[in-house]
Structure 1
Amino acid sequence: MNALVLAGSRPGGDPLALEVGVTHKALIEIGGVSLLTRVVGALREAGCTRILVCCEPGPVEDLAQALGAGVIPPAAGPSGSVLRALEASGTPLLVTTADHALLRPEWISELIGGAPADCDLAVMMAERARIEAAMPGSRRTYLRFADGHWSGCNLFYLRTPAARAAVEEWTRVEADRKRPWKIVARLGPGLLLSYALGRLSLAEGLARLGKSIGARAALVRASDGRAAVDVDTPRDLEDVRELLDNS
C-alpha cells in the first residue's frame, strides 16, 4: 500500500502554526511529537510501505526525509497534489493529511477492509452522534443527508486507476466542499430535489456522484468518531492534547 500525506502550507502561513510558534502546521508538537511524525508512524504501523509527503522545500521536507518518506512538491490545491501523487505512485493509494493527529492504524485497516471489492475509491465518513460521543464539544463541519449528519475523516482510498476521474472532478468542486447542494446540483435536478427534500442518503449520493464521472465510489462508516477530528483550530489542538494526555 502506498500512502500520501498532504502537508503543504497555506499562502501566508497557517494561522494555527503561527499562533503556536512554528512555521508549518505539520511541525506542531503534541507530547513532544510532531503531527507529521504521528501520521507517518500510524501509516507505517498500518502496513504502508511507501509514504509520500506533499510539502514545500524547507523544514517539513527535512522532517519527512528524516522519517524515511518520499517528498513531492504541492500542486494547485489538494486535488492537484493527489493527481501528482497518482502519477508518481499509481494505485492503490491511501490519502490523508498531516493534521490528522489522532490517526490510528485500525482506522486505515477499517477503510481498506470496508471498501467493496468492486469500488474504485472509498471515502471514510463519521456520523455526528459518534463524533460527539467520542469528543464532546468538538466543532466539525457536517453534511446533512437522509441518513444523518456526517463529517469527513480525511481518509480516502483510491483503489483502482479509475479513481483518477474522481480526483479530476474534485478539482472542479473543491471550492464547494462545504456547500453539498452545489455539488449535488451537478448531477441534475432530480438528485438535487431528493437532497433538498432530505431523501438522499450519503451512500447513495456518493454512488450516484461516482457513476456520473465514471468511477465507482463507496462510503465506509467510521466506527470511531475520533477519526473525523483533525487539528484546525486552537480548540482542536487543546482537545487533541487533552485526549492524548489521558490515553
Structure 2
Amino acid sequence: MSLSQSDPFRDPALVNQDDAIVTVWSDIGCPWATLALQTLSARAGERGVTLLVDHRAFPLELFNERPTPKAIIDMEVTAIAGLRPELGWQDWSGPESEYPVSTTPAMAAVQAAKDPSVGGLPASDQLDAALRRAYYEQSQCISVHARILRVAQTCPLVAVSALDAALQRGAGLADVFSQWGMARDLPVQGSPHFFVGGRYAEHNPGVTYHWTAPPGTGFPRLDEYDPAWADEVLDLIETSQVHGTTK
C-alpha cells in the first residue's frame, strides 16, 4: 500500500527515517509477524538485497492484559505451518511448565541489542530472528534471561557480554513499554505492521485469513498467502540504497 508523503508517516516515533530500513511493529510471540519476517528475509537473500530491520515492540500481553493464550498460538501455528511447511515450525514439544508466559523479556533484549555497544540494528535483527527460531522451531522458553543469552550466543553480530550487562541494568524494557504507549497513539494496527519510510505501510501483509467462529469455539483458517508483498518492499529498499534517500 503506497502512502502519501504527509504525516504521520514521517514521524520517527512511527517509522525509521532512513528509507532503506524496514520498520516492523510486532510481538515475537505472534506467528503472523514471524511468517512475514521470515518471508521478507528469505526473499531478500534470494535477491541479494541487504535487509536492515528496525524492530519496534507491539506487546500483545500488555495490550490484552493477559498472556497470549497458548491454544490460540497453537492453532495459528498449525494453520500457517500447514500452508507454509518450508518455515520449519514445530508444535510446542517442551514441557508445559516451560512454555513462555511472556515475550516481553525477549522483546526487551531485541531493543537492548540496538545499542552500538551490543551490535546495533543488525545485531538486533539477528537476535530477533534467532529468538523466533528458538520459540517456533526449538520449543525454547524465551521468557528466561539465561535462555535469551544462550540464543544470543548463536548470533555472531551480538556482543553477548554487553547484552547481558545491558539487560541487568534494565536496558530494553523501558523501550518496550514506551513503544507500547506510542503504538496506542500512532496508526499501528497490530502485529505485524510494516513500514518503509512514507511510502509503504501494511498490516499482516499478504495474508487472507478468518476465524471460522470466535476464538474458543472456532479455528483460524489461512485462506491465502501471497508473498509478493516482499518484492514490493525490497524494490523500495533497493531504490533507496541506490539513491541514498534518508530524510
Structure with the higher strand share, 1 or 2: 1
Q: Structures share a fold, TM > 0.5?
A: no
Q: What TM-score, normalized to structure 2? A: 0.31
Q: What TM-score, normalized to structure 1? A: 0.31
